[in-house]
Copies of this chain bind each other. A is one copy, B any other.
Amino acid sequence: MALGRTYAEQDCSLARTLEVVGERWTLLVLRDCFLGVRRFCDIQAHLDLPRAVLSDRLKSLVAAGVLEQSGKEYTLTARGLSLWPAVYALQQWGERECAAAEGRRKLFRHVACGTDVDSVGFCSSCAVVPPVGEWEIRPGPGADLSLRQDRVAQVLAAGPHRLLEPI
Contacts and interface: CB of A to CB of B under 8 A. Distances in A.
B90 A12 contact: no
Contact of A20 (B10, B31, B98, B153): B98
A33 to B, nearest CB: 13
Contacts of A155: none
A12 B105 contact: yes
Interface centre among A2, A18, A31, A96 (most CB of B within 10 A): A18
Contacts of A24: 22-23
Contact of A105 (B8, B13, B18, B96): B13
A16 B2 CA distance: 27
Chain copies in complex: 2
A82 interface: yes
A21 B19 CA distance: 15
A79 B83 CA distance: 23
A158 interface: no
Given A2-B48, A14-B87, A17-B97, 10 more contacts: A12-B91, A12-B94, A13-B94, A14-B31, A82-B93, A85-B92, A85-B93, A86-B89, A89-B89, A120-B120
